[in-house]
Structure 1
Amino acid sequence: MQSEPDTSPRRWRVETALPVCKLGAAVLFAALGAVFADGDPVRLGAGLLVGAVLLGWGVRDLVAPVRLAVDPEGVTVIRGFAGRRHIPWSEIERITVDTRPRLGLATETLEIDRGTSLHLFSRYDLGVAPREVAEVLHAVRAAGPTGGGPAH
């Protein structure tokens, strides 16, 4: 007997360790900029700038850790710094996983193509492999009230 796919609402989020590392690196770069500036405002500014960028990136991960959610009606994606946007299945043209070799390793990116916008998610955004998320999205979409809409 074949079991039905799990179509309950699901969410994927940034792993907790990632923003902690970003915030730690922000403090480290700001401190190194101050220590090694040696009176040079450019060095100090560079260290503080890198620290500020990492701080903003880490804060975003804390404020909006959920990057993608799915329910029978569609998906919810992150928008802007910490906003959200619900996209119904009828507006989604394709859900694919792009795999590319980089530095001897294969990297995967989940792509949700809406036609007018493309939403990209890495393993770091989702906390799991993009291929696993794509499988769940396809299953929820196929089991949804409209029966799926456009193919992948």
Structure 2
Amino acid sequence: MAGVDARREWRVPRQMMVVKAVAAAVCVVLALIGDSYQTFLAGVAAAGFAALVLRDLLAPVRLAVDEGGVTVVSGFAGSERYSWNDVDRIRVDTRHRYGVTTRLLEIDTGDQVHLFSRHDLGTPVIEVAEAVMRLRP
């Protein structure tokens, strides 16, 4: 397989980065107007959201696949590469709880299971799974 379809990548949507940045800003404002306990909690929340935004900026690509294998985000902003021989299973896990359906893309590499949601990939996970399976030899 060559050409445009030979490599695909999925990244965190910019809208999710903006939502996290706005949440961090709101938490900072709440920290400034609250008492000491509220300031502490809002400060911790602001730091958490800021860390998520930083991770999204440093490692926006969460999943990339090509003819040679799969590259997944690892740690805070690193990545790991797996050949197709190392990938045991690719599936979509669907859970129904409290009237909400959640779907996660699972990539099982034997030692680790990498999970991705629509918010990680910017595309419904079923579509991503189908694209990954098309590229898998």
Settle same-fold status: TM greater than 0.5: yes
Count of aligned residue pairs for this structure pair: 134
Q: State how far apart, in whole Å, the 1-side matches of 2:119 and 2:20 are.
A: 12
What is residue 114 of structure 2 aligned with on the other side? 119
TM-score scaled by structure 1? 0.84
**1:11 and 1:68 in contact (8 A); partners too:** yes
TM-score scaled by structure 2? 0.93
**2:91 and 2:107 in contact (8 A); partners too:** yes
What is residue 136 of structure 2 aligned with on the other side? 141
Q: State how far apart, in whole Å, the 2-side matches of 1:7 and 1:114 are.
A: 23
Larger Rg: 1
| Overall identity of the aligned pairs, in % | 43
What is residue 18 of structure 1 aligned with on the other side? 16
**1:13 and 1:65 in contact (8 A); partners too:** yes
Is 2:130 the partner of 1:130? no
Correspondence 1:3-152 to 2 at 5 A:
7-37=5-35, 41-142=36-137
Which runs of 5 or more residues in structure 1 are unaligned?
Answer: 1-5, 143-152
Q: State how far apart, in whole Å, the 1-side matches of 2:97 and 2:28 are.
A: 30
> What does the per-residue CA deviation read over 1:80-137, in whole Å, with 9 as the maximum and x for residues that have no partner?
1110111000001100100011331211100000111110000000100111111111
Q: State how far apart, in whole Å, the 1-side matches of 2:28 and 2:42 are.
A: 5
CA RMSD of aligned residues (A): 1.2
Q: State how far apart, in whole Å, the 1-side matches of 2:16 and 2:131 are.
A: 24
Q: State how far apart, in whole Å, the 2-side matches of 1:14 and 1:123 are.
A: 9
> What does the per-residue CA deviation read over 1:34-90, in whole Å, with 9 as the maximum and x for residues that have no partner?
2022xxx22211111100001101111111111000000000000111101110000
Q: Hey, which bits of structure 1, 4+ residues long, moved more than 6 A? A: none
